Amino acid sequence: MRLSTLFASVLGLSVVLFAITLLTALSYPANIALHAVASDLGPTPQPVTSPPHCDPIVARLRPLAVPPRTPPWEVLLNSSEPNRTRLYVYVWSAQTRRLGNQLFNYASLFGIAWRNSVIPLWPDAKTQLRSAFSLRIPIDKHNAVITVSI
């Protein structure tokens, strides 16, 4: 019992002495180095700013907001003259896909129709996309155009 108490007290004293020595050794050179460097530098310099004549050059203007453009198929749909050569592009079975896939299908259909000046059609099906968003693509009522066979 006495031997274990003696061992514990010696071990505790050695840990305390080691911690004090370590903290003293680590803090002493850092203090000396910081004081030496700080005295050599002098006062803190002022922040650098650009001269007044550089302000128009450096100042960046925000790009002007682009007004929304009318999709090219609006003109095709609203024309009064009969046209039997209208081209349509549509998505196949959009109702079976998840919302993320429906969004991708809508975006790709929109872009393809815009780029090629054709009329996009969204199928007349109960999709999550139709219930959650206001679509700019015309909806093919009862899939009349999509199911036409030649």
Domain boundaries, the chain: 2-43, 72-143
What pLDDT, in 10s, does the model give residues 95-128? Answer: 888 999 999 999 999 999 999 888 898 888 888 8
**How far is C-alpha 135 from the chain's CA centre?**
23
Q: Which pLDDT band, with edges at 50, 70 and 90, does 143 fall under?
A: confident
| pLDDT score of 40 | 59
Q: Determine contact, residues 105/125, Cβ cutoff 8 Å.
A: no
Q: Which residue has the higher pLDDT, 67 or 3?
A: 67
Token pair for 149: 């066979």
| pLDDT score of 108 | 92
What pLDDT, in 10s, does the model give residues 23-73? Answer: 776 665 555 555 555 555 666 667 666 666 666 665 666 677 888 888 888
| pLDDT score of 55 | 61
pTM of the prediction? 0.51
| pLDDT score of 134 | 86
Question: 122: burial class by Cβ within 10 Å (0-12, 13-18, 19+)?
Answer: buried
Mean pLDDT of 5-12: 83
Q: Determine contact, residues 99/115, Cβ cutoff 8 Å.
A: no
DSSP type of residue 13: H
Q: Determine contact, residues 130/106, Cβ cutoff 8 Å.
A: no
Report whether pLDDT(150) > 70.
no
